[in-house]
Chain A
Amino acid sequence: GNSVTQMEGPVTLSEEAFLTINCTYTATGYPSLFWYVQYPGEGLQLLLKATKADDKGSNKGFEATYRKETTSFHLEKGSVQVSDSAVYFCALPEGGSEKLVFGKGTKLTVNP
């Protein structure tokens, strides 16, 4: 079945640093890919998504490009803020299903 492998972290950065969180996937076909963010004590929020190969999802300064050649969907942000401190999950649909398969999550802490 479909799966994702995500950089586990934790990741600690200073404010305005560049962020990359790696995510690679294994999938049948070209399913949509997602990044979710979970702030402390809260549920998940969709951060961005890409529905087909070569698409770039972007939101709140975060970007991720659906790369079929490297089966990757790395999350990037050029200048992180303290408010970006959260856990980030890469996800994709389970093959032939509406269920989502999540990576293990990467905790990001941004220090002022």
Chain B
Amino acid sequence: GAVVSQHPSRVICKSGTSVKIECRSLDFQATTMFWYRQFPKQSLMLMATSNEGSKATYEQGVEKDKFLINHASLTLSTLTVTSAHPEDSSFYICSAMGPGPSREQFFGPGTRLTVL
């Protein structure tokens, strides 16, 4: 099946620094990827839709200058949390839209971000 990886799986950083999270589709090309945020014991909140070669589309209430998304190739999307603060600590999950007519989303394993 289609595999999506994320790197790093876990990151701890100091307040004010920036953190980049990578999302890769390993065995398929994905023109569309999604970035989600999940707070403890809560559901996934869609942050943005990432389209290869174009600007990401952000959901209402998500700061695009805070969460920079770059989808530079058909297998890689990155999320950069700029000037991270403790309230940005969360579990970030990406998904990639698979090939074919089913348009199924395949999810990465997630990245745990802790901002001190």
- Identify which of A43, A49, A99, A103 contacts B93 (C-beta below 8 A): A43
A17 at the interface (CB under 8 A from B): no
Q: How many residues of B contact A (CB 8 A)?
A: 23
User: Which size class do A's interface residues fall under?
Assistant: 10 to 19
Which of A41, A43, A46, A104 sits near B42, CB closer than 8 Å? A104
B110 neighbours in A (Cβ, 8 Å): 41-43
- Main SS of the interface on chain B? strand
Residues of A within 8 A of B102 (CB): 51
Q: Which of B42, B93, B103 contacts A98 (CB 8 A)?
A: B103
B107–A99 CB distance below 8 A: no
A99–B106 Cα distance when bound, in Å, is 12
Interfacial chain B residues near A100, Cβ < 8 Å: 34, 46, 105
Instruction: Give the A-binding residues of B (Cβ under 8 A).
Output: 4, 6, 32, 34, 41-44, 46, 49, 93, 95, 97, 102-110, 112
Q: List 19 A-B contacts (CB under 8 A).
A: A36-B107, A41-B110, A42-B109, A43-B4, A44-B93, A44-B95, A46-B106, A51-B102, A89-B44, A98-B32, A98-B97, A98-B103, A99-B34, A100-B34, A100-B105, A102-B43, A104-B43, A105-B43, A107-B41
